[in-house]
């Protein structure tokens, strides 16, 4: 017969728990003993052997120390995978050794990429892998379904063995790559720069990204040899492509017109943009940059190569209509920069024009957050990432009509002809502090840039891979 007086108070129970701790029992052991006692006295109470359960009002919290699992160091994993990849490349793809290495690689990548237990991998059956959904169904003890996990998107870097030789590397990109793609059983190939290896469409579905066809739309801006090379490369690639990605509706129209490609074979996926310019900038850094470049007035910011196509000259020509406003033009210089400086002298605004080249990201960040307006009068673009960067920084935008800039800037920005400096100046005035469009433009811009989120863009590309991949 159990005497209730043996456990008639919290003190007795606490004394017992303290004794367990004093004897250096493991935390799990202590928890197990307490759980057993709770269950035992609950049984006694239910059977009316004792009148009350002494554990009913006892709340015991015993924290287990959090111990991180032991993992293989990244350095050792890198060595292991490097060895396997090298051995695979050295083996004949029909040899037994090659099959063993492929098996080992698959097992290692599965264990590391998914976090599966060895026992779960051992019980894995072919029917548990759902390739259409990139899902593996995991079975636990007794073959009871426990969970389903996504198969990670695996990537393997394949490079030419003699990649240090420029000519060989170029040959491999154009032709030799196809052999390696067949060897490595690639599911889909993506040419990111309007270029595809010759004959690739016979081996694997080929996705082609086209940024722009300015060399066809405006050949006058290119040297004859460059124009010939770009044109030849484009037509070779577009004929090989299973499907094309245009980075804007404008580029899509150009592909249809010049490539004679049906609309169904082209998807528009806008480019994503780094969000680094969205972060605020310390006031002291902004003062430092202003002092360094002698920026005492409000200024229009332009970012891009200082070349004829970008049309930064229109900003300079707009300055006579904008009292107390400077122009800061940031980018790589070309001979076109000399024309800008000459025009600034002619108009008497040379002291308000600042051409900057080779500046670091920190300085550019400060300029984005110090400018009054972002001006982008480019005559033709495939997309216009600087506009996205400006809106990320909370900067209102004035851009040019005629290409894709309305797609990049959205409804919150203002657009004028690339040949009307006076209209450009009027649009700038509306965006300056106190202008009737400024606050609305900033708010609209901050909302609009969310459509260029990197994850959203990546998912659109993955959808294309899944649609056309083997």
User: Residues 156, 144: contact at Cβ < 8 Å?
Assistant: no
The mean per-residue pLDDT over the stretch 127-133 comes to: 69
Among 51, 67, 83, the domain boundary falls at 67
DSSP sequence for 171-211? HIIIIIHHHHHHHTT-S-EEETTS---TTGGGTS-EEEEE-
Token pair for 220: 């006058």
Among 42, 67, 92, the domain boundary falls at 67
Residue 160 lies in a domain: no
63-85: pLDDT as tens digits: 666 555 667 777 787 788 788 87
The answer to whether residues 83 and 119 belong to one domain is yes
The answer to whether residues 283 and 352 belong to one domain is yes
The position carrying tokens 């122009």 is: 327
What range defines the domain where residue 431 resides?
276-451
Residue 10: its pLDDT value, please?
A: 58
Report residue 145's pLDDT band, with 50, 70 and 90 as the boundaries.
very low
Residue 175 lies in a domain: no
Distance between CA atoms of 314 and 406, rounded to whole angstroms? Answer: 18
Check whether 4 has a pLDDT greater than 70.
no
Residue 161: its pLDDT value, please?
A: 57
Distance between CA atoms of 341 and 306, rounded to whole angstroms? Answer: 11
Which carries the bigger pLDDT value, residue 72 or residue 191? 191
Residue 144: its pLDDT value, please?
A: 46
Which CATH number goes with the domain that contains 432?
Answer: 3.40.50.2000
Residue 178 lies in a domain: no
Structural Rg of the chain based on CA atoms: 33
The answer to whether residues 307 and 398 belong to one domain is yes
Least confident of 59-63, 134-138, 202-206, 234-238: 59-63
Distance between CA atoms of 121 and 117, rounded to whole angstroms? Answer: 6
Residue 2: its pLDDT value, please?
A: 41
Residue 426: its pLDDT value, please?
A: 96
Provide the mean pLDDT of the chain: 84
The answer to whether residues 235 and 369 belong to one domain is no
Residue 143: its pLDDT value, please?
A: 46
Which carries the bigger pLDDT value, residue 161 or residue 83? 83
Residue 30: its pLDDT value, please?
A: 77
Nearest partner of 313 among 400, 218, 406, judged by Cα: 400
Nearest partner of 383 among 247, 283, 235, judged by Cα: 247
Check whether 256 has a pLDDT greater than 80.
yes
Least confident of 21-25, 74-78, 158-162: 158-162
The answer to whether residues 88 and 31 belong to one domain is no
Which carries the bigger pLDDT value, residue 267 or residue 100? 267
Residue 371 lies in a domain: yes
Check whether 396 has a pLDDT greater than 70.
yes
Residue 81: its pLDDT value, please?
A: 79
Among 238, 268, 298, the domain boundary falls at 268
The answer to whether residues 394 and 294 belong to one domain is yes
CA distances from 188 to 73, 200, 346, 466 (A): 32, 10, 56, 9
Residue 106 lies in a domain: yes
Report residue 7's pLDDT band, with 50, 70 and 90 as the boundaries.
low
Residue 163 lies in a domain: no
The answer to whether residues 307 and 419 belong to one domain is yes
The mean per-residue pLDDT over the stretch 251-266 comes to: 95
Least confident of 151-160, 254-263, 279-288: 151-160
Residue 132: its pLDDT value, please?
A: 60
Residue 174: its pLDDT value, please?
A: 74
Residue 212: its pLDDT value, please?
A: 94
Residue 321: its pLDDT value, please?
A: 96
The answer to whether residues 216 and 130 belong to one domain is no
Check whether 192 has a pLDDT greater than 90.
no
333-360: pLDDT as tens digits: 999 999 999 999 999 999 999 999 999 9
For the ranges 40-54, 185-199, 449-463, the one whose mean pLDDT is highest = 449-463
DSSP sequence for 6-59? GG-SHHHHHHHHHHHHHTT--HHHHHHHHHHHHHHHHHHHHTTSSSS-TTTT--
The answer to whether residues 129 and 52 belong to one domain is no
The overall longest dimension of the chain from CA atoms, in Å, is 111
Residue 62: its pLDDT value, please?
A: 63
- Could you give the percent of the chain with pLDDT greater than 90? 49
Residue 252 lies in a domain: yes
The answer to whether residues 233 and 333 belong to one domain is no
Q: Domain count for the chain, please give it.
A: 4
The answer to whether residues 1 and 143 belong to one domain is no
Token pair for 19: 């004794």
Report residue 52's pLDDT band, with 50, 70 and 90 as the boundaries.
confident
Check whether 454 has a pLDDT greater than 80.
yes
The mean per-residue pLDDT over the stretch 50-57 comes to: 70
Residue 146: its pLDDT value, please?
A: 45
Which carries the bigger pLDDT value, residue 436 or residue 128? 436
Exposure letters 377-404 (e unless 16+ CB within 10 A, then b): bbbbbbbbbbbbbbbbbbbbbbbbebbb
Residue 168 lies in a domain: no
Residue 203: its pLDDT value, please?
A: 86
The answer to whether residues 106 and 56 belong to one domain is no
Which residues, including other chains, have CB under 8 Å from residue 391's CB and lie 6 or more apart? Answer: 397, 409, 410, 412, 413, 445, 446, 448, 449
């Amino acid at each position: 017969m159990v005497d209730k007086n043996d456990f008639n108070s919290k003190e007795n129970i606490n004394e017992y728990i303290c004794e367990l701790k004093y004897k250096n029992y493991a935390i799990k052991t202590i928890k197990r003993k307490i759980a057993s006692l709770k269950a035992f006295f609950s049984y006694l109470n239910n059977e009316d052997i004792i009148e009350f359960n002494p554990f009913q009002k006892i709340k015991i919290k015993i924290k287990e120390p959090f111990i991180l699992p032991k993992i293989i160091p990244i350095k050792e994993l890198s060595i292991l995978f490097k060895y396997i990849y090298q051995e695979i490349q050295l083996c004949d793809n029909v040899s037994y050794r090659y099959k063993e290495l492929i098996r080992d690689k698959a097992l290692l990548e599965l264990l590391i990429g998914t976090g599966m237990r060895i026992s779960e991998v051992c019980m894995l059956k072919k029917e548990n892998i759902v390739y259409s959904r990139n899902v593996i169904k995991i079975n636990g003890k007794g073959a009871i379904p426990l969970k389903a996990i996504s198969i990670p998107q695996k990537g393997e870097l394949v490079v030419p063995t003699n990649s240090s030789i420029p000519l060989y590397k170029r040959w491999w990109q154009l032709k030799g790559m196809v052999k390696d793609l067949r060897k490595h059983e690639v599911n889909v190939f993506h040419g990111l720069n309007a270029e595809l290896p010759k004959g690739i469409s016979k081996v694997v579905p080929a996705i082609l990204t086209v940024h722009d066809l300015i060399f066809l739309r405006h050949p006058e801006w290119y040297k004859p040899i460059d124009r010939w090379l770009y044109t030849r490369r484009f037509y070779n690639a577009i004929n090989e492509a299973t499907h094309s990605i245009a980075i804007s509706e404008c580029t899509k129209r150009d592909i249809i017109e010049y490539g004679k490609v049906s609309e169904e074979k082209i998807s528009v996926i806008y480019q994503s943009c780094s969000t680094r310019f969205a972060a605020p900038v310390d006031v002291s850094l902004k003062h430092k940059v202003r002092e360094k470049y002698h920026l005492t007035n409000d200024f229009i910011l332009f970012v891009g190569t200082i070349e004829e196509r970008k049309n930064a000259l229109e900003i300079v020509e707009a300055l006579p209509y904008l009292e107390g406003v400077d122009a800061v033009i940031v980018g790589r210089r070309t001979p076109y920069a000399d024309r800008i400086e000459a025009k600034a002298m002619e108009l008497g605004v040379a002291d308000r024009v600042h051409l900057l080249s080779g500046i670091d990201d920190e300085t550019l960040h400060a300029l984005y957050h110090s400018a009054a307006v972002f001006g982008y009068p480019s005559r033709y673009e495939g997309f216009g990432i600087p506009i996205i960067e400006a809106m990320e920084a909370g900067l209102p935008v004035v851009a040019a009509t005629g290409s894709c800039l309305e797609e990049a800037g959205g409804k919150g920005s203002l657009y004028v002809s690339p040949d009307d400096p006076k209209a450009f100046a009027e649009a700038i005035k509306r965006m300056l502090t106190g202008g009737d469009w400024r606050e609305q433009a900033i708010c609209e811009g901050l909302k609009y840039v969310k459509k260029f989120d990197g994850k959203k863009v990546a998912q659109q590309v993955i959808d294309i891979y899944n649609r056309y991949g083997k």
